[in-house]
Amino acid sequence: MKILGIDPGTATTGFGFITLNKKKICVENFGLIETDKDGSPGVRLINIHKELRSLLEEFKPDVMAMERLFFAANAKTAMRVGQAQGVMLMAAAKSKIEVVEIAPGTIKKMIAGNGRADKKAVQKALRKVLGAKVRSQARKRTHFDNAADALAVALCYAYTYSKGGEEIG
């Protein structure tokens, strides 16, 4: 099974592709979809859609697992991320790919063993499971944070699927 994990955002969206074969999990690719912070909201959404469609065509995942939007203190940020999620849902629908949304606390609990784990704990758990291949390749820490979050979403789905497809989220 091929799984695409998504950590949605308008400025930076993390993605992580993993495969699950006979309960063996392999990282295929991970990275970012970035938009111009000075671009108009509409143009940024078009770019997210276009880049995600390209990734979907290249890797042909069986499912797209996306981190569910949680309540944000900043309503404007929550709206923007919600808009980006809508564009991502549309891209997946056009590619006829199932989408599963998973709550952040569920992801943290399943990956790091604690629903309130911080990013460091999640990344440490990811490296333990997925190996040293999962390292930051950019100078900006946020780059790896977004990609790592996306890999965590994909891994959470893989764990659930391998346990018989119990409902998650």
Where are the alpha helices (H) located in the chain, listed in sequence order?
Answer: 41-59, 75-94, 104-112, 119-130, 141-162
Please tell me which residue in 67, 118, 149, 166 is annotated as part of the active site.
Answer: 67
Q: Is 7 annotated as a binding residue?
A: yes
Q: Is 145 a known active-site residue?
A: no
Tell me if residue 67 is catalytic.
yes
Q: Could you tell me the two tokens for 64?
A: 């797209």
In the sheet that 12-21 helps form, which strands lie side by side, from edge to edge?
A: 24-34, 12-21, 2-7, 63-67, 98-102
Q: Which residue has the tokens 């671009």?
A: 39
145 labeled part of a ligand binding site: no
- Count helices and strands (H / E) in the chain: 5, 5
Q: Which of 7, 34, 57, 145 is catalytic?
A: 7
Catalytic positions, written as ranges = 7, 67
List, as residue ranges, the binding site.
7, 67
Binding residues for Mg(2+): 7, 67
